[in-house]
Copies of this chain bind each other. A is one copy, B any other.
Amino acid sequence: MANQKTLSAEEMGKAMREVSVAEFFEKNRHLLGYENPTKALVTILKEIVDNSLDACDEAGILPNMKITIKELETKVMYNVGDDLGEVIIQERKPILKIKDRFAKLEETKKTDDKIEYFYSAGGKNYTVTETKVEDEKVYKISSNGQELKLMKVPLGRFRIIGEDNGPGIISKNVTLAFGKLLYGSKFHRLRQSRGTQGIGISGAILYSQLTTGKPAKIVSKTEKEITDVEMRIDVSKNLAQVLSQDITKNKEGKTGLVVEMEAEARYIERGQSVLEFLKQTAIANPHAKITYDGPGGKIVFERATNDLPKQPKEIKPHPYGVEVGILTRLLLTTSSKNLLHFLTNDFSKIGKSSAHEIIKVSKIDSRTKPNSLKHEDIEKLYRAMQTVKIPSPPTDVLSPMGENFLVEGLKKEIEADNFVAVSRPPTVYRGNPFQVEVGLAYGGKLPRDQTAQLIRFANKVPLLYHQSDCATFEAASDVDWKRYGITQSSGSLPQGPILILIHFASVWVPYTSEGKQAIADYPEIIKEIKLAIQDAGRKLSHYIHEQTHLREGQLRKEIFEKYIPELAESLEKLTDENKQKIISELEKIIKKGVSTGKQDRDKKES
């Protein structure tokens, strides 16, 4: 203890200071979805697409997006030794330069785990062995069995460009929207939208400059003006550092936004990938046209409808679940003159009679000024608001996918025999209206011996990561699927040819992290998702039981058929009737029996 340096309260005090939000997320880039290079690329794309779709929806424009992802040439030089020369890795392929002259590539050998390049130069032989370790490529150069140099080649670097036909962003806001974290128009309102936090796109730029040091480029065209900006984020100030800005009149009148950045990343085409994200986005947003130009070629997701989705409405908080702390702040900041006014004006679904009831239960004078309530009265008011019966939030406030569309969307992408969908009416958690939709696909080409696939959406945005941490997963694992005729080990997702799609729509989605990949497990949310799954499960179970019934009938028929010849022989002896005639009679019975069984069942059900 004696030789350890300890600090006094004063010394500790001197070290205390504010942390900028940008610094915080730079150090915690994984919170925003940038913990690995594959996910980083998906996250950047997601932030660009979410913003474009939100802006188009709000402006009432049918979205037309273009996404370009281009792998950039990486050229890295390594000194092999003064007298030897250098290795240049260009687009991940090695070029050997010995004493300022390029060596000759004699042979390339490719095996499962490595590639060997054999060179000759100045009468000597050199070998460069390429292997892959984690996300990096490692090159070893050797000559005559002697290792000369080990080189790691950095991750791929990509240029990502997002282009839309949205309304654009006005000049004075461009550098704030892209250069400041926790800044935006969506946080302080209660309205269903893809983005809400004011972190996403500036977070993407933060990651871009962190890994490449390169500035971002933005061109924003509103009806009036065109803003052309090149900028970085000043991390310690959480503000844009503008390198160039050019504002001109928009003579053409076409509006839209172009965002361009470079980042270290990794491109894959299967599983949790850019392609999967776009495919699922297209399922949930059939009104959007998305042209994707990536390393694997060009893909166009065509518009499936020209109808804009129903606009979600901005609403006031519902009284159920609003916390005391929020109620206190609402009381202090309201412009309502008295308590009665406050209740009917500042909340959703409190009418005059509910307001009077709340006031009666809480025993506070209805003429009291909201900001003069003491803490005890606020608590009484709070309790009363939770006790009095208040209608559910309005059904038209959210923008769900809808049952028909869910089934159509699934049919388009999934080859299965049966599809069902359920849209639950809106309900509330913490004062926030939300709505759960579930679609199930069953049978067909879905794999029979695997765990069910779960496809998740929040406000029409696909969630690709952190499935096991998501309320949808918890709820789906907690449902008793055996009731609906589906195999399940308890506490797990069901087994068999089933696909589960869950859409969570809300004015505020409680994501488990700023990277927005999983929904937090608030008890009210879990409960509602389970109810939706159970509704859908019941719908599906008719079909499954029908299938089981048919299969059993078929089995009975097969067994019976086996014994027909034997039986016919016995009957022939007993009745003197012709055996072939008996067989054909028996076969008729079987046919009738199976179809009658079905008719009986149909009658019973209706």
Contact = CB atoms under 8 A, between A and B. Distances in A.
A183 interface: yes
Interface string A457-484: 0000000001011000000000000000
A213 B328 contact: yes
Given A59-B6, A311-B4, A35 B521 contact: yes
Interface string A5-17: 1111110110111
Interface in A172-207: 172-173, 176-177, 180, 182-185, 187-189, 197-198
A16 B177 contact: yes
A214 interface: yes
A383 to B, nearest CB: 6
A134 interface: yes
Contacts of A212: 324-325
Contact of A4 (B24, B60, B154, B469): B60
A325 B521 contact: no
Interface in A484-516: 508, 510-514
A189 to B, nearest CB: 7
A60 B222 CA distance: 61
A185 B14 CA distance: 8
A228 to B, nearest CB: 16
B9 A169 contact: yes
A523 B375 CA distance: 51
Interface in A302-353: 307-308, 310-311, 323-329
A605 interface: no
Interface of A: 1, 4-10, 12-13, 15-21, 23-24, 26-28, 30-31, 35-36, 55, 58-60, 76, 78-79, 134-135, 151-152, 154, 167-170, 172-173, 176-177, 180, 182-185, 187-189, 197-198, 209-214, 222-223, 235-236, 255, 307-308, 310-311, 323-329, 360-361, 375, 378-379, 383, 386-387, 466, 468-469, 508, 510-514, 520-524, 527
A135 B27 CA distance: 36
A286 to B, nearest CB: 15
Nearest to A56: B6
Given A13-B172, A520-B30, A211 B323 contact: yes
Given A31-B513, A514-B31, A520-B30, A182 B134 contact: no
Contact of A386 (B152, B172, B189): B152
A10 B511 CA distance: 29
A197 B172 CA distance: 32
Nearest to A24: B182
